Structure 1
């Protein structure tokens, strides 16, 4: 099992297949297992790296702030990845975009799926209304967590975010949320992001971005997708009518088409310089 040491901890990662490098970034309450159905086919056409952020999966817990982008760079270095397509879902999309901002030469493309960025800067009326709905869900979650009932909190969260998945996928995601419940109980995530955060800097991105969102996701997530697609310089936007926050599980065929299109439209890594 490959691990890489980082300041104050260690990170777990796996690598599968051969071909152009694709690095997968997990959603906030999941770990590398969320990608099992994706890796099963993607490893036939790409070299796929999956990894766990701190406080999730098999990576170490954190006791203080840490550099989340430095962690990803350490995983890429350990895995021998010089330049890759980054595919991030939910909070993983935010991380992928932030990494592309800091290290553009290491990123061939970002696939930002159901990106989660929190409050909108200077929100439109529609964005402000969507955040009211989100805050109501978070308040409901907080009430459940006050009782210590992790399974109920996990099920409530997955039901809200992923209403389009089938029963097996729902149970799978609830299990992942329970397994990674430490992050639910932390007052705040110790990951340190860009300053100012990437949500203020979409226009500065220097890499192509493929944006994907499902029509069964929260309206706030959908509006963030539209904002990202309108502000970043080089973007495409795909909206899936049957997908929710986890389109690899709620609309797997359409998700596969989206990702394969991103692969075929991305320039390969430059050849090593001759010595």
Structure 2
């Protein structure tokens, strides 16, 4: 099982293909397998790297009492350094998009491009968003110890669909991915969820993301996520925004062909690989 040391943990990863490197960062409570269709479609033309974020999948948990998005970004940096990835393109969805934008703002000279899918920035923009990000997500951490996160996730989907009309997605497929992957310990679930509820406490300077950026969101995505797409577009200098038709929050699973086509377009726009800073040198963080 291929692993690499990142900040005191053994991080599981897989790599396929050759050429320009794209690193995929998965959503919360899933694992690297959510990118299987993208990897299969791209590996003949690109080098693809997928990994399990701390607390997830085959990487598993750690002894830390709490996690944060900037910790996940630091783990990603250690992965990139350890694998000697020369200016990869990052592609993150939901939590993965939070990690990717944090990394891109901190280390803009170490990447060639970034794809931010179905994600949001730290600021809370609307009351509905505040309700989901601060009330609903925090409320999940107490009952999960009693009934398990699978039931709590179904309740979360029910609440989301009732409060936000027009929102949808292939939730059954997400459930199957979770059932097929390694189980997540309850304590790890709590740390992962709390890392997301505290994302608003971080400062991510989007204007520092100087590489070509693609923002994706599903047609049936939460309204506040679409607002965050506009927020990113308003601050990132070189950005394109694209809606994935008939897709929900996991747009790469709902419409894999359309999502992968968008990724290919982003990869053609990625900044050509030039001489980058030595991978063993520290770069000042701007986030």
Which TM-score applies when normalising by structure 2? 0.80
Aligned with 1:204 (options 204, 208, 231) = 208
- SS class of match (1:184): helix
User: Which stretches of structure 1, 4 residues or longer, exceed 6 Å deviation after superposition?
Assistant: 192-195
Structure-1 residue corresponding to 2:59: 59
Structure-1 residue corresponding to 2:170: 165
Correspondence 1:104 to 2:108: yes
Q: Are 1:166 and 1:250, in contact at CA under 8 Å, matched by a contact in 2?
A: no
Q: Are 1:155 and 1:174, in contact at CA under 8 Å, matched by a contact in 2?
A: no
Correspondence 1:38 to 2:44: no
The Cα RMSD (Å) is 3.1
Aligned ranges 1:1-275 → 2 under 5 Å: 1-64=1-64, 67-117=71-121, 119-120=123-124, 123=125, 127-132=126-131, 135=134, 137-138=136-137, 141-142=140-141, 144-145=143-144, 147-157=146-156, 160=160, 163-165=168-170, 167=172, 169-175=173-179, 179-180=183-184, 182=186, 183-186=188-191, 188-189=194-195, 196-198=202-204, 201-270=205-274
Aligned-pair CA distance for 1:139: 6.2
Aligned length: 264
Aligned-pair CA distance for 1:45: 1.5
- SS class of match (1:115): coil
CA distance in 1, matches of 2:101, 2:10: 23
Distance of aligned partners of 1:136 and 1:217 in 2 relative to their CA distance in 1, 3 Å threshold: farther
- SS class of match (1:222): helix
Q: Are 2:34 and 2:253, in contact at CA under 8 Å, matched by a contact in 1?
A: no
CA distance in 1, matches of 2:44, 2:156: 33
- SS class of match (1:59): coil
CA distance in 2, matches of 1:58, 1:158: 26
Aligned-pair CA distance for 1:233: 1.5
